[in-house]
Every structure is written in C-alpha cells, then in structure tokens.
C-alpha cells in the first residue's frame, strides 16, 4: 500500500487487516466504498457537472452532520485549542505534530485549502462565473491564514507560550467566517 510519508510511505498489511480497516465505522470512515473510473465516449456538460459538484460540496459544508467539522468545527476548535494547551502534558509534541498534520496530511489546514483553491481557479477558467473567481480569491487568503495557524502552533510548541495559541484562536474565528461566506457564495451561484 502507498500511505503518506508520515505513516512510512510504502507499507505492507494482510488482506484481513486491510478488510478490517476498510470496514471501520464512524463519520470519517470509508464505508467500504471503491470506484473504478473508465473512459467513455459519452458527451457531458463539464460546466453543469462542476456546478453540481460545487453546489453539493457547499451544501454539505454549510450543513455538517456533526459540529466538529466545517466552519462549525473550526469555530469550536478556536475555543478548544486554548483548553488543550492548558491541559497538555506535551505542548511541544502536541502542537508541532498537529501543525505537521495540518500541512501535510490533508485532513484540514492549508493543504486541503490549497487543493480547493486550485479547484476553484480551474472551475472559474472553465465556467467564467465571477462568483467562483471571488470564492477562489477568498480561498487564497484562507489557505494563507491556515498556514499562519500552523506556524503559530509550531511557535507555541517551541516556546510553550500560550499567547501564540490565543492568536491562532483569533485566526481560526476569522477562517470560520471566511469559509462560511465563500461556501455561501458558491451555494447561491450553483443553485441559481
């Protein structure tokens, strides 16, 4: 299997363990889904597909099934990181590891926002819809803010100074607001 560098790159596992991992339960699990993509001669309207996918994504982002994800999760995190810092027995390890995950693991932070920013840029180039361009520009700034949060986490880990966490908390509130606004713009244009 090819895994992320943090997990060792190329790894081996038994088919039984692979089956168990694919069948895990929970909100972030794969639910045993797999897809095979094959070419087709069928014609399709790329603009329509982009708008549908973007609209579905925005709708799901704005209506998360749990409060720990999307803009609601970011807002919650802005409060929780202060508590986490105060009760951590390994501030350096906890916050520096979190910063690395945000930047390199793709579960949140700047890495994902950079990918989505680039998707929006390509979507604007295909559709020429100005609201998509506006959201793209917002995600340029959002990705920058996420990178700032991860840098503050590293500084907090290095210095064990909670002031860096207070600043990260303020930025997370700003990120939550900007992401919600950007997704509302996309939802509105895709439904129109």
Rounded distance between C-alpha atoms, residue 105 and residue 109, angstroms: 9
Is residue 100 a contact partner of residue 6, using CB atoms and an 8 Å limit? yes
Counted domains in the chain: 1
Map residue 1 onto helix, strand or coil. coil
Q: Which CATH number belongs to the domain containing residue 164 in this structure?
A: 1.20.120
Write out the two tokens for 42.
């069928």
Q: Is residue 6 part of a domain?
A: no
Q: Which two tokens stand for residue 74?
A: 């970011």
Q: Which domain holds residue 59?
A: 46-191
50 falls within a domain: yes
Say if 96 falls within a structural domain: yes
CB burial of residue 176 (10 Å; 0-12, 13-18, 19+): buried
* pLDDT recorded at residue 136: 97
Has residue 2 got a pLDDT over 80? no
Q: What is the pTM of this model?
A: 0.80
Q: What pLDDT, on the 0 to 100 scale, is given for residue 11?
A: 73
Q: Is residue 84 part of a domain?
A: yes
Task: Decide if 14 is inside a domain.
Answer: no
Higher pLDDT, 20 or 46: 46
């Amino acid at each position: 299997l090819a895994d992320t560098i943090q997990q060792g790159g190329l790894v081996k596992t038994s088919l039984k363990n692979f089956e168990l991992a694919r069948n895990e339960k929970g909100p972030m699990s794969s639910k045993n889904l797999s897809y095979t993509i094959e070419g087709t001669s069928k014609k399709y309207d790329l603009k329509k597909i982009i708008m549908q996918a973007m609209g579905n994504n925005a709708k799901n982002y704005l209506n998360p099934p749990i409060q720990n994800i999307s803009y609601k999760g970011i807002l919650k995190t802005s409060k929780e990181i202060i508590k986490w810092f105060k009760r951590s027995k390994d501030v350096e390890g906890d916050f520096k590891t979190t910063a690395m995950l945000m930047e390199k693991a793709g579960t949140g932070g700047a890495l994902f926002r950079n990918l989505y920013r680039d998707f929006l840029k390509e979507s604007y180039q295909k559709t020429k819809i100005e609201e998509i361009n506006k959201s793209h520009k917002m995600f340029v700034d959002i990705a920058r803010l996420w990178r700032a949060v991860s840098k503050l986490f590293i500084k907090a880990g290095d210095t064990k100074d909670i002031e860096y966490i207070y600043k990260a908390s303020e930025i997370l509130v700003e990120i939550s607001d900007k992401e919600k606004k950007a997704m509302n713009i996309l939802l509105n244009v895709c439904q129109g």
